[in-house]
Chain A
Amino acid sequence: MATMTQTPARREPHGFFTDTTVCIGCKACEVACKQWNQLASETGGQQPLSGDSYDNTQRLDGMNWRHVKFIEQFSADPQRTQQSRWLMMSDVCKHCVRAGCIEVCPTGAIIRTEFDTVVIQADTCNGCRACISACPFGVIDINENAKVAQKCTLCYDRTTIGEQPACSKACPTASIQYGPLNGPNGLKAKAQERVQQLKEQGVDQAQLYGADDKIVGGLNSFYLLVDRPQVYGLPENPQLPSRNLGPSSALTTVGAAVMGLLGLVSLRKKRMDHFAGQPADRER
């Protein structure tokens, strides 16, 4: 992605609402994402069968920015069929309101955009991998082709020209929805309504994950789940690196030295924050 040269106007926060109850596990989102973002198949298409249900993608990383999870919930007793479920969920970067990756990025390559989404700028990432361990959701990894850390950009190059992201565009069942998060017609209101509808239909466990500020200040890509978050591989109470500041104070002197060395880069970070319309206090 090209580095921005002028300050874009602030926009309403935008994001994804992923309604897992209508996900059919077709993986159109994965393919659309790879096509639009030109992410090559790591294995050239040839790899062993994972054996993990219908999931052969297995993870989010630098080459897989969308990942459809398949969770088979069937009793060991074949007679007990009432609880039989095959849950599917298209996972993606959460675009956290308090983003661990932004906190730790030493070069300022990771920015908050005018849509309140989180983007790694390839040309300023030095591949230090700090963000990889800082992400509580395991979203980021090095893209072996680009040699830098990469993840979902929420199709910044599409949204800036008024197009929706490739995945939500391709999703046949509207399991992935893109749009403004807040307001009476926002995704959060829509999601609340859907939870209410499901509860009325007897789906007692219907719940939103990340729609409020309890999880790292809120997730701009949030989910409707019908089971506990752990079942979907989502942490119940994800921790940010800043929480560990106390115990790791011994490292701060080393950190200071590193920061000195990277002084030039940090100047650049400041500039980027400015460009992104990203006041520091927004990180809370």
Chain B
Amino acid sequence: MAECHPVAFRWIMQAKLKGAKLIHVDPRFTRTSALANTYAPIRAGTDIAFLGGIINYVINSKRWNEEPFFKEYVVNYTNAATIIEESFKDTEDDEAAGRFSGLAQYTGDPLNGFVGQYDNKTWQYKGTQATDQGRTGSTGQSGEQGVQSGNEDTNLPEVPKGPPYDELVKSLLKPPAQLDTTLKDPNCVFQLVKTHFSRYTPEMVQEITGCPKEKFIEVAETLLQNSGPDKTSSFAYALGWTQHTYGPQMISCCALLQLLLGNMGRPGGGILALRGHATIQGSTDIPTLYHSIHGYMPHPSAAKGKKHDSLNDYLTAETLAKSYWSNMPKFMVSYLKSMYGEAATKENDFGYDWHPKITGDHSHMPMFLQMMDGKVEGMFCMGQNPAVGGQNARLQRKALSKLKWLVVKDNFEIETAVFWKKGSPEVEAGELRPEDIQTEVFFFPSNQVAEMDGSYTNTQRLAQWHNKAAEAPGDCRSDMWFTYQLGKRLKALYANSTAPRDEGIKNLVWDYEIDDETAKLRDAELQITGADDAAKHEEEPEGEPDIRKIVREINGYQSADKTKHLANFAELKDDGSTTCASWIYSGIYPAPGKLIMNNRDADPALSDAGKPTLGWGFAWPANRRILYNRASARPDGTPWSEQKKLVYFDPNLTVDPVTKLPYTDLKTGEPIKGAWVGDDVPDFVKNKKPDYQPPEGATGLDAHPGTAPFIMKFDGKGWLFAPTGLVDGPLPTHYEPVETPIKQNRLYPQQLHSPVYKRWERDDNQYAAPGDPQYPHVMTTYRLTEHHLSGVMSRWLPWLAELQPELFVEIGEELANDLGIGNTDMVRVSTPRGSIEAKALVTRRIRPLTIKDGDTDKTVHHVGMPWHWGWQGLARGSVVNDLSSLVGDPNVAIHEAKAFVCNVEKA
């Protein structure tokens, strides 16, 4: 975190100054380790063994069993008490086979890459079907697999058509789950979790991860002691956790642990995903993802695993009768209105048929494989540099040569734009000849972020507006200008088409011109904020769209009158009378002139106290800073402790402290008493009493009791056990990376890897066999503070380039001595995909680890390489991703560049 998120690390240091303990677990001793109270080394890719070890330690500890807080939290707020189908088989069953029940062959499109597939029928809550759409991952959303989690029960009665969709929602109701609040039933989630992790002992942790047992216990004990009613612990992770063939399961394992420790939905708790890019959060909220449309709704799919043929089919498959997702019809219809405007009517299903459909895994890796095979004609590449940043970058550069056209829009002439020229490794090696390459490459110079108005949404879902600070040089254009102008030209091309397939682009709303209305919007803003940025817009290049109109569409408005913005997502309707591109952002621009993400009330007194500063920016949803914060109070609504007080139920309150209006029953208009209040925006129905019990047949949040904090889950509980959503198992399990230095999984001798990951083995993407002596060392790739990603924003800048001027490979002193390598010697690093040269940085910060392969002791050396370099720019070096492979996790198709194997020799 100190390495890659130095600014956010400020707060970690502030906490440390106040006495917080910082633990760092990493294969390398990094700048973060240097600042930590405890550093625990770990073999790359063995994090589930480590976390599973903590889970086992916690469940069997005296403190966890005697301090009543833990049981009260876990029984009420998690699905620990829920009974699972008796036919469920754990990885521990069948003499520790290492697989869950339901494993089958994958029979879908081979391009999707799965080596196997689970049918999750036996993972369900007993007597009911866990109807979650699998929104947690792209596979669950896209229909690449026939995921059972949607409402695909063929015995369902005819689903009523809407709008209104209330009857449709009601028809999806399932019987409630069975509970054993004593947690004694052998098939309740708690007992299953306990058994599942029972062999993750400190000894086992040491044998798998290489972390000394004592160090592991120190970590586990610190976490345990620092969690409870008056203390919380939080986890921060970055790509070191995601980039594995079981990456999402690592996060899931952490969530399981944090739920057991009562650290979710409470101040100072949670799991903090440190995302790799500025506003990468924003780019998944309003997505550049293939499987998702705005606000985490699944992308309409034509793949076999989903029935999305009509709007009714889509809503049937993707709506939950219970939880806030029961509003899915409102979100979707309002989204379709934002796409197709007046052309979207009740009669034509709001234009649903015009919406593009996906057919499988269209994510980065399969797309480049398709490109390599000549099946992709053209590509727009904006803000990305796959010639350096893509896994098996050699393959990706060669794939670019198969395109007919390539558009690169970036700040500098990046490697991707010149893959065809002298200097490119393939051209230098004679594998590609510029005269043979038919790809027409267009390069568009791009504005930098400071050269345009816009917003960031950072990892805590906080959207912050930024104003243009400088004019872009030369002929640069903003991404918005480019996209808007491209859309206008495409619409003109299709304007006269009569083909039904072109209705979508013909009807697409694309009216963001700067015009008289813009002036009105700006005037309104000036009246409220007194901002003085009106003048500079006179200097916008011709054709720049009106960004406020785009934000308005994201926020939502009354379809009949665009100047009537929606105050929040509670105003959304399912009949087309509201328009809203991304329901989760509704409320960010509640009235003309009121751009809430521009708020800059720092409220230092509150922030010093560790309390949310609601006046700074806008955090979706509803400006809420901590999600599921109902869990910051006891089931009875009182705070767990004075120290960790955040949101709580005040039973005597009759007037809203913010609006000053009396509380009234929405249906009867009668005054009511009691409300959720606190320092954050409560993530709960305002007046729902803690002892509320849902009546029979209730839907939406009415179907949740007053003690259910996790309002997006159909049962309102945090899931220790995931009956649906993740396609590689309901519980996290330790597997080895696809390329591993060992031959046998210490926990599951019969199951080395995940049985269902994505593998694309071919001549140009080969893998090393497990324990292959030709590739004996563990390679892990990473980033440095001094550079950013593929280096586009740093390698061209002298002040940054000089700080880390050359590629290096970090090698532990012991391995360097074995291989006769001295500091700054040139070495050759090889994998089955490629071989590159780099200077050695010999250090004692990387130490050999002793683990077990089967019953044999084995010493494992890590080799670390930052991957920022390429052949363009000022600071140059080999492309480290020439070494990594195309291989993916089955949920989100993330690669495994954090853990693979290599050989190192003196060059």
Contact = CB atoms under 8 A, between A and B. Distances in A.
Interface in A43-70: 43-49, 51, 53-54, 56-57
Interface in B798-817: 798-806, 808, 813-814
B803 A27 contact: yes
B847 A22 contact: no
Contact of A72 (B797, B803, B844, B875): B844
A240 interface: no
B488 interface: no
B9 A172 contact: yes
Contacts of A49: 805-806, 808, 824, 839, 841
A84 B876 CA distance: 32
B31 interface: yes
Contacts of B343: none
Interface string A9-44: 000000000000010111110110011000011111
Say what secondary structure dominates the interface of chain B: mixed
A35 B799 CA distance: 8
Given A45-B797, A45-B801, A172-B9, A86 B841 contact: no
A172 B805 contact: no
Nearest to A71: B34
A209 B493 CA distance: 72
Contact of B843 (A46, A53, A56): A53
A57 B39 CA distance: 27
A194 to B, nearest CB: 8
Interface stretch (B10-18, B464-472, B619-627): B10-18
Given A22-B13, A24-B6, A78-B847, A88 B802 contact: no
A86 B6 contact: no
A225 B447 CA distance: 43
Interface residues of A, number: 41
Contact of B10 (A44, A88, A172): A172
A48 B9 CA distance: 30
Given A26-B785, A56-B805, A76 B844 contact: yes
B439 to A, nearest CB: 30
A42 B799 CA distance: 9
A265 interface: no
B31 A25 contact: yes
Given A46-B805, A78-B814, A24 B823 contact: no
B874 interface: yes
Nearest to A200: B19
A85 interface: yes
A45 B814 contact: no
A224 interface: no
B802 A51 contact: no
Most buried by B among A28, A34, A49: A49
A84 B29 contact: yes
B805 A26 contact: no
Contacts of B814: 78
Contacts of A160: none
Contact of B845 (A28, A45, A86, A87): A86
A57 B803 CA distance: 7
A142 interface: no
Contact of B6 (A26, A78, A174): A26
Contacts of A182: none
Contact of B33 (A35, A78, A86): A86
Contacts of B823: 51
A222 to B, nearest CB: 18
A86 B801 contact: no
A173 interface: yes
B10 A173 contact: yes
B781 to A, nearest CB: 17
Contacts of B847: 78, 81
Nearest to B8: A172
B7 interface: yes
Nearest to A55: B803
A15 to B, nearest CB: 21
B905 to A, nearest CB: 19
A75 B845 CA distance: 10
Pick the 6 closest A-B CB pairs, nearest first.
A45-B801, A45-B798, A74-B844, A41-B798, A45-B874, A86-B34
Interface of A: 22, 24-28, 30-31, 34-35, 40-49, 51, 53-54, 56-57, 72, 74-76, 78, 81, 84-88, 172-174, 194, 197
11 contacts: A22-B17, A24-B35, A25-B34, A40-B798, A44-B798, A44-B874, A51-B824, A54-B804, A56-B802, A86-B29, A172-B6
Given A31-B803, A44-B874, A56-B805, 12 more contacts: A24-B9, A26-B31, A27-B803, A53-B843, A57-B802, A72-B843, A76-B813, A84-B29, A86-B29, A172-B6, A174-B10, A174-B13
